[in-house]
Amino acid sequence: MYTIKQSRKALMNKWDWENPTENITTILWGPPGIGKTWLVFDIVAERMIKEIKHKKETGKLTAKDVENLQILENYSNPLQIEEVLSKNLLVLRLAERPIEQIEGVPAPNFETRSTIFLMPENLISLRDASWVVVFVDELDKASESKMAAATHLVESGIVGDFKLPKDTFIVCAANRVSDSWLSKPVSPELCNRMAHVEMEADVESWTEWARSKNLNSKFIGFILFKHAQHENYLMKREGEVDSESPKAFVSPRTLHKAANQFDKVYKSNNTEYGKNPAVDIEVRLEVEQLIGDTVSADFYAYVELYSKVDVEALLSGTQKIPKGDDRSKVMSDQYIFAFALGEQLAKKHLKFQNAADNLRIIIESMLPEVRTVFIQLLSHNNREVLESIAKDKRFSIVIDEILDYMGGE
């Protein structure tokens, strides 16, 4: 199994920009919503960005290039860049497209009394491309004839009578049979022509990506909170799907949509969480419809306590970190305080009177597991705060742990 980062690296290793004859067709295996499409779009965007920046260095940049660069560097959804990528990316969704898009469109040649295969319309934008990525999606749902056509495509790089550029990289995507009712095994002939990368939903890669896309911090914190409790809520179907009635379940895809809906509905109503009960109910239903009843309930239990954490109150000493005899409950509550504090704490807060002393008390009051997670969060989110703490002798009790996460600086 490969993490999202490892899967991306595996794809880039198979795509040789300098020696395209060395390109190796690769198939990404994984459950629905894990990010297979996103990953392919992202590597195409990376190459286009590099080429546009090279044009800038050589003084050949056009106004359209500037516009495209802005889109490619700031997208938050693959649909936002699909049109820009279309000059170098061919997407073949086999489950929903006619076989002619792989084999070409047959037409009679009356002069030679033979059949020719015309270029499918979806290839027109690629006629002048110097390089192409062909993304064959939903391979596991293709008919036998389409799989045979895909085998020919992988083997020859030809669609109809159109020869793809020498610099062509083919990536396929499929669900495993255990992931989908509609999935079926991919033919051995085709499997033997590809490298296989089986993806898993890993919290570290997703968190890095989610922060880069400015995803709502409550959702990021929730996933990290569950991860700290040794639960992976990035891909959770248990209790959410049964054999008779498929239901919403959480995945990187549905989590992204839920976070966007959360922000969108509050923004359209000019309010925020906890300020308008009617809107809170509306948003809760939106989230539930996307990630399911169980995960949604857990998310809101997290958000309810998270929203009660007041950084300034903690640093002034008027709010205390949870304590008690029930270690399990204390740990759960402290994790939420740690995430809220780790997300919101800024260097300016340390200038409050007695703030540093109270922060020291808070850190020392954390259970060891919670303290470790809190320092990790500061390392990722608030480097300036962590550096300030590391230089302060009052934090000597945790200074070694802090320095470890700062790379021994």
CA 368/CA 390 separation, integer angstroms:
18
Q: Give the mean model confidence (pLDDT) for residues 318-326.
A: 90
* Same domain assignment for residues 271 and 189: no
* The most confident of 162-166, 246-250, 281-285, by mean pLDDT: 281-285
pLDDT at 244: 47
Q: Give the mean model confidence (pLDDT) for residues 180-206.
A: 88
Helix (H) or strand (E) holding 158: strand 158-159
CA 59/CA 20 separation, integer angstroms:
27
pLDDT at 403: 60
Task: HSE, CB side, 13 Å, CA atoms: give it for residue 289.
Answer: 9
Question: Which of 161, 183, 198 is the last residue in one of the domains?
Answer: 198
* Same domain assignment for residues 124 and 164: yes
For 160-198, b where at least 16 C-beta lie within 10 A, e where not — what string? bebebeebbbbbbbbbeeebeeebeebbeebeebbeebe
Is the predicted pLDDT of residue 237 greater than 80, yes or no? no
* Same domain assignment for residues 271 and 193: no
* Same domain assignment for residues 215 and 323: yes
Handedness of CA 155, 138, 219, 273 (dihedral sign): positive
* Same domain assignment for residues 227 and 122: no
* Same domain assignment for residues 245 and 141: no
Nearest of 62, 7, 5, 44 to residue 29 by alpha carbon: 7
Mean pLDDT over the full length of the chain: 86
Residue 161 belongs to domain with CATH number: 3.40.50.300
Q: Give the mean model confidence (pLDDT) for residues 68-94.
A: 90
* Same domain assignment for residues 210 and 194: no
For residue 125, give its domain range: 4-198
Question: Which of 198, 216, 251 is the last residue in one of the domains?
Answer: 198
pLDDT range class, residue 99, cuts 50, 70, 90: confident
Is the predicted pLDDT of residue 271 greater than 80, yes or no? yes
Question: Which of 198, 221, 240 is the last residue in one of the domains?
Answer: 198
Is the predicted pLDDT of residue 291 greater than 50, yes or no? yes
* Same domain assignment for residues 390 and 337: yes
Is the predicted pLDDT of residue 298 greater than 80, yes or no? yes
Is the predicted pLDDT of residue 180 greater than 80, yes or no? no
* Same domain assignment for residues 115 and 151: yes
* Same domain assignment for residues 148 and 192: yes
pLDDT range class, residue 240, cuts 50, 70, 90: very low
* Same domain assignment for residues 243 and 276: yes
* Same domain assignment for residues 208 and 140: no
Total count of domains within the chain: 2
> Who contacts 175 (Cβ-Cβ below 8 Å, separation ≥6)?
29, 30, 31, 32, 140, 141, 183
CA 196/CA 139 separation, integer angstroms:
13
How far, in Å, are 51, 155, 315, 403 from residue 388 at the CA level?
A: 40, 58, 15, 12
Residue type, 231: E
